[in-house]
Amino acid sequence: MAQANFDRRRINGPEESHPPIFGAEELVHGSRWKAGQPRDSRKPEDIRRIFLKSGLIDQANGSAYIETERTKIACAIYGPRQSKNTSFNEKGKLNVEVKFTPFSCDRRRAPMRDAEDRSIAVAIHQALISSVRLELLPKSTIDVFLTVIEADGIEGCIASGIVAASTALADGGIEMIGLVVSCAASVVGSETWLDPTEAETQSSEGTVILSCIPALGTITSLWQSGQMRQHDVLRVSLLVPSRAYF
Amino acid sequence: MLSISKAEKSYIQAGLTASPPSRSDGRGLLDCRSVALETGVAPLANGSARLSIAGATEVIAAAKLDVETVDDGTEGRDGGRLICTVSCSPSAYPNLSSSTLDDLQADLTSLLHTTLTHPTLHPQNLGILPGKKSWLLSLDVLVLADGGNVLDALFLASRAALWDTRVPRTRGVEYKARGRTAATATGGQGEGGRGDMDVDQEVQSGFDSRMIHRATDFELPDYWDEGEVLEGRERWPVAVTLNLEPPIHFLDATSQEEAASPLRLLLAFAFPQETPPVMQAMRMLGPGEVVLTELKELIKAGENYARAMHAALNTKLREEEVRRNQRARERFELHR
């Protein structure tokens, strides 16, 4: 099996490998926060600091780089270009691809095999699609490539990825009806924690990712997983936009 | 999925938003097509169900249990695992290329998997021997035909198959080295403390340098039924898709209607017996935007639709259980 798709151009790791276990660090993490305690390092309704810069990738038509503590994502936009397939399309196509670098997660992500995450790409596509004026670009395709350099939870990746992609689209001069901003929130006990890290998501009962166009006050994507009461969902949905406009 | 002409699209949209609204099959906006459900359709699976919405959408779900070793190097986890997979038959989507079909399968799989494998839903009786063996529950859902509203069908069929799943009873077996009377049977028992323990006495060799003095294994006792049901099977969610065509929304879209109004809101609710209903998943699908105030109304309405669907499904599943018990009894009488 390994011989068939063996990539000679890369340094191949051993067939079977395990992520290193850092005993000491694990202890520090465990002692820092326990269920039921208030959130450490920031207030429940605070988000992490964001570094966002556009135009870092020269050869792309538009690009952006976002960093929120341990989440680092680079995004490049190519196009609009002519669609490769011959069928006529009245509306343009937005193509989103998310790739993880092998060193982005705790466990190594092998190149080619599990570098791509379609579910994140679908979530980002859903949030962006209604903001881009694709009806102005018949027969064309816009490619959005996101590279996750460091990941701190899926939720953080999706939310930061949406912000980066929307910024890059604007940087690329693509017509949009508004910028899309996105933020995740987790319900931990009776509190709502905005912009949770991976560890915080794991200790929460449910998570919501909300993407909206602040300029129009509309929601483009709502993504909830886990267990939440209806009023919690609504409370979080109200809270996220009030804090996410920056 | 289906691509329809602009004229057809606007015809359907106009019908939906007209007052009174009219749909091609004469239903009201909030009427569902008739749903047929049968459980126990796959004899070799531990639980299965076949669901058909008016003969247009057909879904088969089957749950199968495998024994897994819980080890550092393997995927196996103490307390068992659940893996959900959705596969779409090419005959259900003759107009899609194989790569698009793969993408569709991946999307449906990730939606079902992330919803059903959330730790709050995990059944507690999937462990066999703590730290050694556990059950791997694989839920495979096959879409045989798509006549619209596949998402609701997927969740309904999955819930029925998981409801129908029986976990075989296991009994821990312990080999105890002589002279270690202190080590009484505690570790060898499966979770939930089912079954008695067989304790084999073994003569200890003086040359025995093994570190582990107690090897544990399990056996399947021969019993009259197929096992016990999954713990917390009332908790599995039902999903309802609201198709949005502002200002109205409608339920159970046909494939033409799905093509005409692509914005959908999927809501999955669970209705535990003692506590108020909880939301297990929510997704906005398709191009379009909603305003927060609208969304509030939609979620409230969705909960009511899901409750009605949940009640109907539960009634049907209990009916199915009675029917199958009766059939089993008749067969037993025949062979006696």
Task: Report pLDDT digits (tens) over A166-212.
Answer: 999 999 999 999 999 988 888 887 788 888 888 888 888 888 898 98
Which one of B108, B283, B307 makes the best mutation probe of the A interface by having the most chain A beta carbons within 10 Å? B283
A230 and B73 within 8 Å at the Cβ level: the answer is no
Contact: B278, A223; criterion CB under 8 Å: no
- Residues B112, B142 within the same domain: yes
| pLDDT tens, position by position, B268-312 | 999 888 888 888 999 999 888 888 888 888 988 999 999 999 999
Does B2 fall in a domain? Answer: no
Distance CA(A77)–CA(A144), nearest Å, equals 5
E-only strand ranges, B124-179: 127-129, 133-145, 166-167, 171-177
Nearest-Cα residue of chain B relative to residue A202: B119
Q: Are residues B322 and B198 in the same domain?
A: no
Contacts of A201 in chain B (CB under 8 A): none
Residue A217 is nearest to which of B287, B291, B303, comparing CB atoms? B291
Q: Is the dihedral of CA B250, B255, B260, B264 positive or negative?
A: positive
Same structural domain, B68 and B195? no
Residue in A223, A227, A229 closest to B120 by CB: A227
Answer whether A80's CB lies under 8 Å from A174's CB: yes
Q: What's residue A4's pLDDT? A: 63
* Dist. CA A213–CA A244, nearest whole Å: 10
Task: Tell me which CATH code domain A43-244 carries.
Answer: 3.30.230.70
Report how many domains make up chain B.
2
Chain B residues in contact with A229 (beta carbon < 8 A): 276-279
The arithmetic mean of pLDDT across residues B63-87, rounded, is 85
Asked if the structure places residue B69 within a domain, the reply is yes
Three-class secondary structure of residue A6 per DSSP? coil
Residue B217, domain extent: 170-181+189-222
Give A-chain residues touching B291 at CB under 8 angstroms: 217-219
- Give yes or no for residue B182 having a pLDDT over 50: no
Residue A80 to residue A94: CA distance in whole angstroms: 9
3-state secondary structure of B23: coil
* B78 and B217 both lie in a single domain: no
B239 within domain boundaries: yes
Q: Which of residues 13-32 of A touch B (CB under 8 A)?
A: 16, 18
CA distance B6 to A25: 60
In a domain, B11, yes or no: yes
What own/partner pairs with CB < 8 Å and gap ≥ 24 does B38-43 have? B38/B320, B39/B160, B39/B161, B39/B163, B39/B164, B39/B317, B39/B320, B39/B321, B39/B324, B40/B164, B40/B320, B40/B324
For residue B303 the two structure tokens come to 């909960």
Q: What pLDDT score does B181 carry? A: 45
Q: Looking at the structure, tell me whether residues B215 and B303 fall in a common domain.
A: no
Is the CB of residue B142 less than 8 Å away from at least one CB of chain A? no
Does B273 reside within a domain? yes
- Residue B186 CB-half CA count within 13 A: 4
Q: Where does the pLDDT of residue B191 fall: very low under 50, low under 70, confident under 90, or very high at 90 and above?
A: very low
Shared domain for B78 and B123, answered yes or no, is yes
Residues A221, B284: C-beta atoms closer than 8 Å:
yes
Query: A7-12: long-range contacts (C-beta < 8 A, 24 or more apart)?
Result: A7/A111, A7/A112, A10/A111
> In the predicted model, what is the mean pLDDT of residues B47-51?
94
Q: Does B118 reach chain A within 8 Å, measured CB to CB?
A: yes
* CA closest to B300 among chain A residues: A230
Residue B1 inside a domain? The answer is no
Neighboring chain B residues of A118 at a CB cutoff of 8 Å: 103, 106-107, 110
B205 shares a domain with B161: no
pLDDT score of B179: 52
Q: Is B282 on the interface with A (CB under 8 A)?
A: yes
A233 and B73: CB-CB below 8 Å? Answer: no
Q: A2, A15 in Cβ contact below 8 A? A: yes
Q: Are residue B100 and residue B140 in the same domain, yes or no?
A: yes
Residue with tokens 């166009």: A213
CATH number, position B92: 3.30.230.70
Same domain, B216 and B246: no
Regarding whether B210 and B129 lie in a shared domain, the answer is no
In order along its 246 residues, chain A shows pLDDT tens digits of 445 667 778 777 777 777 777 765 554 444 455 666 677 777 877 788 889 999 999 999 999 999 988 899 999 999 899 888 767 888 889 999 999 998 888 877 877 767 778 889 999 999 999 999 999 998 899 999 999 999 988 888 999 999 999 999 999 999 999 999 988 888 887 788 888 888 888 888 888 898 988 888 888 998 988 888 777 777 777 776 666 554
Pair B252, B175 in one domain: no
Half-sphere exposure of residue A234: CA atoms within 13 angstroms, side-chain side: 13
Residue B249 shares a structural domain with residue B259: yes
- A133 forms bridges with which residues in the sheet? none
Residue B148, sorted as left (phi over 0), alpha (psi -120 to 50) or beta, turns out to be left
